[in-house]
Chains A and B, each alone.
Chain A
Amino acid sequence: MSTMNEKITEELRQKARQLLESGRVAAFLGYASGSVPMVMRPFVARTPEDADRLEWNSFCVLNLANYLPALLKSFEPPRRPNEPPPQGPLPKVGVVATGCWSRNMVVQIQENQVERERLVIIGISSRGMVDRKKVQALIAHRDVTAVKEGDNTLVVAGPGFEEEINRWDVVRDNCKSCVHPDPVIFDDMIGELKGERDLPDRFSQVEEIEALSAQERWKWFTSEIQSCIRCYACRNACPLCYCPTCFVDDSRPQWVGKSIDSVDTAIFHILRAYHCAGRCTDCGSCESACPMGIRMRILTKKLQKDVLQLYGIEAGMSVQEPLPLTTYKKDDPQDFILTESLKGEKK
């Protein structure tokens, strides 16, 4: 009997092949297996034959929305910076989307980075992706040469060992605390929609740190980012980061020092996370891409929690709803404003 993922892979290939054969899309963005086990490679299928290389499993951790703006642009005729976009319909791109990726696509649509009309989205309700670092920790960092996936288990094999692992034990933290596994926009679905998950404690990771004193929090923050080598993999894996010149590359003014000095690294991580405020969908790409195992996702999760608490908005849930920081209400909470709190004290 074939597993869930094998069925999805089969259906995905079939749908992608149809789209490419009919000429409805110029390319299809999905995943193909790479040269290393547990690491999938984002893959652009450009011919119907390519579609057979597409694959679906629990290691599709990088957010595909990240590649959309550049991929769409590659199908436009070249033009100067101020030249108007070409008239008439432009080639479309097909893409696979789970809950968080589709929400990132919504954010990109709201921020005018991609056009909805140019996307053909194949939705898959996510079962959570596996954190390869957790698997490696479980098998004591031995070399892995092959991983076979069942529906609820992973069989990890290497030279001289073979171990079965419960899949949910190694699912990424962001997937475990995810409440929106279903794609919010899609043209076609593979499998059923699962509905929202009910998780009252989804911010528990953040709350644990909030409970600490300021000094302890600073200690936690600095020790967490201590090993950062400033490779910017977290930025590059992020579908929100599409600025032509990133603030870290600016040299006039230079907002962030480029060394691995602890202050420079701290400011980089604060600003990188802050730029995602009200936009982050907690897809976990940053953390999955990090070669040093830094858990910088807790920072964006904190921002997500505050935005939800203060303004009641979650990023990317609907194309109509504006992003929280691009809008305002006249009665937004302002007790943090000094003059307002002083007024309160006087009364």
Chain B
Amino acid sequence: MNETERKQGEWEPKIIAFLCNWCSYAGADLAGVSRYQYPPSLRIVRVPCSGRVSANMILDALRSGADGVLVSGCHPGDCHYISGNYYARRRFAILKRFLEFVGIESDRVNFSWISASEGEQFAQVATEVTERVKRLGPARHLVKEF
């Protein structure tokens, strides 16, 4: 939290969202064109598939000052590349438990499935994740001061 943000009173977390090109990114797009309201805390990074997202990227986001991370892909069975999200699911399950183990709060790193037709769900998830991260407060553990 910097000085200006503190003065404004309300702290808005910064959340990096890795959205897959085929489902979740289109879902976010639909949320926009359908005018669903959700907090302005998400910074979206479009990736080809949730299977493209590695632990390196998630930790890099946290290190660079993100307060939370959201990774979202197609529902199981709907992956554009057939099985990318299945592999991702295993990796994320392990990663989430592991980050909890070293003391990163479990709500900092979130995963979801959102299809291209689920604009409303995208808005819901964005709101939910923002609320969870807000409850935790600004990230401290892995943020590097440059």
Residues of chain A whose beta carbon lies under 8 Å from any beta carbon of chain B:
206, 209-210, 214-222, 247, 253, 255, 257, 261, 263-264, 266-267, 270-271, 273-274, 277-278, 299, 302-303, 306-307, 310-311, 324-326, 328-330, 332-334, 336-340, 342
Contacts and interface: CB of A to CB of B under 8 A. Distances in A.
12 contacts: A216-B103, A267-B63, A270-B102, A299-B102, A302-B98, A306-B94, A307-B94, A328-B83, A332-B86, A334-B93, A339-B121, A342-B124
Interface residues of B, number: 43
Contacts, number: 124
Contacts of B134: none
B30 interface: no
Contacts of A206: 101
Contacts of B95: 274
Contacts of B83: 328
Interface string B80-112: 000100110111111111111111111000111
Nearest to A269: B102
Interface of B: 55-56, 59-60, 63, 70, 76-77, 83, 86-87, 89-106, 110-114, 121, 124-125, 128-129, 141-144
B86 A328 contact: yes
Would you call the interface of chain B mostly helix, strand, loop, or mixed?
A: helix
Contacts of A342: 124-125, 128
A221 B94 contact: no
Given A215-B103, A218-B103, A253-B60, A328 B94 contact: no
A210 B102 CA distance: 9
B55 A274 contact: yes
B55 A263 contact: no
B59 A306 contact: no
Nearest to A310: B93
B105 A303 contact: no
